[in-house]
Structure formats: C-alpha cells, structure tokens
Structure 1
C-alpha cells in the first residue's frame, strides 16, 4: 500500500465503497439512513504503528460516546498505513475489544471490522463471500449499540442479514463485483 495516500483519497475511496457496495448491494440495511443524514464520521488515522492506532481508536471512541447521535451516529476509522496484513489486523481486534472494556465503553459501543484482505474462517482468500467485509483500506467501524438495537427492532429479520449477504455475493460473483468499479479503487493503493 502506498504511503502517499492522502486523507481525501482514503475518504473518497471508502465513501465510494460504502455507496456502491454496502448501500448499493444492501449489505447493511442500516447504513443508508445515517449516510443520507451525514451522520457518519470518516476519520483517517496517520498511525504507522498499532500503538499509535490504538491511541486514535481510543480518541475516536471517546468522541463518539460524547457526541450527540444527531451529529455522529457512527465512525469509520480508516487506517491506510498500519495493519495492512489481515492476520495482524485480525489480532489487533482483540486489543480493541480489551480497550473498550478498559475505558468502560463495552455495552455502549462496539467495533466491526473491514479490510481489503478480509477473510472469514473456513473460506479461501478469493471466496466472493469475503467481499462483504472488504473495504478499500483497513477500517474499524465504531458503532453505537443503541443504534444497532433500534435498527434491529426496525428490521424484522436482522438475524438473516449475514445469510442474505452471502447469497447476494454468490449471485453477484467476481464479475459483478468488478463491475461496481471497486476493484480499481483497491488497485490504486
């Protein structure tokens, strides 16, 4: 990954992915509302070490917890310069979960994961189902649990989202994914 990616490039690529894949394919039926209301905070970390990234994560968790949902409902913390290897990134998620506990935000906030090399357990790297969580850059999605609870209450079959996404991706296939124009965004890194 290029060390020269700018904050603007990272946000533009992530926004394009959100609009075309996450919202466009309805991978997350809750994303459209907060996107339309401009309640998504895009934060690009300049961190080059996991320690510096953790400091940014803690800062962003605190900001999200202290800010009105009307202003920021969720945060996409994009970190293009650190944890580009998926296994390292995956290990870091445990550190983030521990940090949530330490700052007493577990139960209030949670963190979801997206990565350009995202791979579910028991899948091959090129399995199209992995693309449900493949973002242009390593990204931590900071989410309010209250927002999740409200969204799940409004979406009667929320437990079926994962299965529906797998089906969507299998129907779409690599050719359909490439037609979204997102592969080029990832190659530019």
Structure 2
C-alpha cells in the first residue's frame, strides 16, 4: 500500500510536467491555436477501505497537481490513515486549504458534498451501489450551480487469470483462489474469472 502510494505521487508529479504546457494543436498560416488545461475547482475524493493509503493518496494527488482544491472523505473505517496523509502533505509544504480532511458517516456527508452547488467533481472508488448513487445525485443541477459536475467512479472490475497448459497448475489454482477471496473479494483487483486452457481445465 505504501509502495504504491509513492508510485502514485511520483507518477502524477511527472504527469503535470507534461500537462502544464497543454497539448499541441495544428495551426494554419495566419493562425495561432493553443490547447491548455485549467483546474476545475473544488473536488471531492471519496476513497475506499481496502487500500486506505494508495487509492486515497493517488486520487487526491491527481486532483491537487492539476490545480484543484479537494475535500478528502475517506472510508468510515480508515480515517486515521487519511488524517496522517494530510499531516504529511502539509509537512511537505502543501498550503493549508488545498487538501481538506472531511471524515464522517458516508451517507450524510457524502450526499451533502456531492449535491453541493460549488463542488465541481467527484472521484470515487468503492461499491457499484454507492457509485450509482453518486452519479444520480451529481447529475441533478442544484440551485446556484453553474457547471455540470464530473464524476470519476471506479466500482470494481472483471479481472481475469489466464492459465496456459504449461503453467504450474498448483500455483495457478492457489493464485486463483487467493485473488478471488483475499479481502473477502472486496477489491477492484480481485480475480473474478479464470480462462484455462482446455487441456488442463479439469485439473485446475
């Protein structure tokens, strides 16, 4: 979790070096066209319990390096990890007010933040049910809201284990079980299907 967090911090720091100059666009004679990126504004980061540092840090820093201020709402079960992350970021020199720690019960606080007319985007990692609720609430334009909100929702995936006929079958079988049931299967990288060569299918 910590190693992946460091990777995220470095990755997004390097990404902003390429984004800061915008994207190249073609100009005809007599024209000068530019394509630049601008921050959106105040965003909400709602992070999951199962990778309490990595996903929280990665989604928070991605928003910060692109010029946004954020409201960090960690999972109910992992507020201390997020609080320590905020302390470390401020020690590193991040100005106060850029990264704002908002712990608490998700339904009450989450709904309020998502529906607030001045929040511009939501970055969420978690269950499909909650992600769909966020999409629904963010789509409604509130009184005083100028822009449509953007939602980035990572709600799990269909992760595949591929087993060829010359694989170590004992390792393959144990890896399939570990991937599918580690964290009780409650992670986006949990194995959810196995594609096994027909010659070794029955044995696996």
- Answer yes or no: same fold by TM over 0.5: no
TM-score, normalised via structure 1 length: 0.32
Q: TM-score, normalised by structure 2?
A: 0.30
**Greater Rg over alpha carbons, structure:** 2
Which one has a larger percent strand, Structure 1 or Structure 2?
Answer: 2
Bigger RCO (CA 8 Å, 6+ sep): 1
